[in-house]
Structure formats: structure tokens, C-alpha cells
């Protein structure tokens, strides 16, 4: 099928994409479609190229957005995007000297309006004091939850999330899951990198498994989880690695 035909219903399309950081190839010949109004989950062991693909997708839409210490990788192949805007949450959250209140104001929110469950979060400031904190000085779990909220509320066409549940206490993890489900129900186009297979089962319309930079299998969620074709996929689903 021609690339132009394949991109018709997609937010983004990668064909034969390989990525290098210097001499090291971290993604090798990936063909992957990201349908519009669907959730695509990228799963696989660590260092498999999942976050790198988020960087490529981000660069396709807005190369100037690739910041926070992520070098724009050297990549080859065909990449196409049919969205005008994207926002990305990195695994360790946003480290900014700007106040939480100023950042949230840009997406029409406040610390109070988010209604974050903070009772079980050690070291969290009282809710009324959160807005005055520089984002970089917020406790790690709170900073990651706030970073998630900035992306979730951004209104961008394509949302990219890298391990959104990483190291969150149970109440905040449940809050993030609820927000992701609400976005899914609203038809938001999302790409979610996760090691959490329960989250992928809950959210995904499509799932792609990457191992050592290679795409092993990609399919709709139901056949991927219940009728995986590739032995490596079945092994990963059984053992998680």
C-alpha cells in the first residue's frame, strides 16, 4: 500500500525507521501506524527503543519541542504526521523553575481544580501551597502527576506519555489511570509507553512490542493479548521481559 494511502486514517506513520545515537543503533527498521482517535501502547523490555520512538513522533510534529535533555536522534526512513500539535510527558516528569500555578494556568487548570489525592503522599505540601512551588522542587511523585496533568489537559491533537504510572503511590496511580480512561473515552489520540501490562490491557486499542530496537509484533489489543502470533510476544506476555 502506498504511504499516502496508509496515512489517511493515521495520526502518524513510520516506515522503515531506524534511529542512531552516534554509532549505536537503537531502533531498527520499524514500520508502525498510529491511528487517529485511538490509544497505541508501546511495550517491551527496557532499552528497546520505546522512548526513542516517542522522540521521533514528537520531532515529526514539532522538532523544537524535543527538549529536556533529549537529543534529537539521527534517524532514517519515512516518517509522516497528520496532526498539527503534540505534547509529551517524560518518564521522570518536568523539571522547571517556573511555579506549578504558572504552568497549570497555561492549560486552564489550578492545583485545586485537579483534585489530586495527596493524603498518602509523604512530604507533600498542603494543597493550598502547591501552586507556589517551583515545579522542580515538588516531591517526585507529585511532580510526575502534575507533569502528566499538563500534558493531559494541553488540548493537543497527539498526546505522548512515557511510563505515566512510574513510581506513583496507589492513589495517584489510580487518579492517572482514571484520567487516561477519560481521555480514551473522549477519542483522544495517544501513544503510551508502559511496562505495566495491566495498564496496556486497560487502555490500548493497538499494542506494539519492541525488543532490542526491533518491532516484534503489532496488532489490535484483543488478538495481541489473547492470540499473539510471535513466540517472543507470548514469552513477554507470560514473563514480562
Q: Where do the domains of the chain lie, and which CATH numbers do they carry?
A: 1-97+140-238 (3.40.50.300)
What is the helix (H) or strand (E) element at residue 94, kind and residue range?
none
- Cβ atoms of 158 and 85 closer than 8 Å: yes
Residue 17 has pLDDT above 60, yes or no: yes
Nearest Cα to Cα of residue 127 among 113, 107, 145, 144? 113
Query: pTM of the predicted model, to two decimals?
Result: 0.93
pLDDT at 4: 53
Tell me the pLDDT of the chain averaged across its residues.
92
Rounded to whole angstroms, how far apart are CA atoms 85 and 115?
27
pLDDT at 11: 96
Mean pLDDT on 82-109 = 94
> 491533537: which residue's cell?
157
pLDDT tens-digit map of 198-221: 999 999 999 999 999 999 999 999
Residue 70 has pLDDT above 70, yes or no: no
Rounded to whole angstroms, how far apart are CA atoms 81 and 33?
10
- Cβ atoms of 150 and 104 closer than 8 Å: yes
For 158, phi and psi rounded to 5 degrees? -120, 125
Residue 65 has pLDDT above 80, yes or no: no
For 24, phi and psi rounded to 5 degrees? -95, 120
Rounded to whole angstroms, how far apart are CA atoms 146 and 143?
5
Confidence of residue 185 (pLDDT cuts 50, 70, 90): very high
Rounded to whole angstroms, how far apart are CA atoms 241 and 227?
18
Strands laid side by side in the 24-35 sheet: 24-35, 10-21, 74-81
Rounded to whole angstroms, how far apart are CA atoms 35 and 191?
10
Amino acid at each position: 500500500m502506498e504511504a499516502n494511502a496508509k496515512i489517511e486514517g493515521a495520526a502518524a506513520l513510520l516506515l522503515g525507521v531506524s534511529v542512531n545515537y552516534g554509532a549505536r543503533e537503537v531502533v531498527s527498521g520499524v514500520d508502525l501506524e498510529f491511528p487517529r482517535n485511538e490509544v497505541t501502547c508501546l511495550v517491551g523490555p527496557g532499552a528497546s527503543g520505546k522512548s526513542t520512538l516517542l522522540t521521533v513522533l514528537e520531532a515529526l510534529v514539532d522538532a523544537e519541542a524535543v527538549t529536556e535533555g533529549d537529543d534529537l536522534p539521527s534517524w532514517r526512513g519515512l516518517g509522516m504526521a497528520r496532526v498539527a500539535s503534540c505534547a509529551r510527558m517524560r518518564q521522570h516528569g518536568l523539571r522547571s523553575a517556573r511555579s506549578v500555578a504558572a504552568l497549570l494556568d497555561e492549560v486552564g487548570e489550578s492545583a485545586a481544580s485537579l483534585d489530586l489525592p495527596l493524603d498518602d503522599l509523604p512530604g507533600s505540601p498542603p494543597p493550598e501551597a502547591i501552586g507556589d512551588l517551583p515545579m522542580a522542587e515538588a516531591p517526585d511523585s507529585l511532580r510526575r502527576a502534575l507533569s502528566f496533568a499538563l500534558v493531559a489537559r494541553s488540548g493537543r491533537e497527539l498526546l505522548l506519555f512515557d511510563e505515566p504510572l512510574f513510581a506513583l503511590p496507589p492513589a495517584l496511580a489510580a487518579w492517572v489511570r482514571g484520567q487516561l480512561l477519560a481521555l480514551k473515552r473522549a477519542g483522544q489520540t495517544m501513544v503510551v509507553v508502559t511496562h505495566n501490562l495491566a495498564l496496556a490491557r486497560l487502555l490500548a486499542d493497538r499494542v506494539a512490542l519492541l525488543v532490542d530496537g526491533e518491532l516484534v509484533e503489532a496488532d489490535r489489543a484483543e488478538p495481541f493479548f489473547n492470540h499473539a502470533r510471535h513466540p517472543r510476544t507470548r514469552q513477554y506476555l507470560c514473563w514480562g521481559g
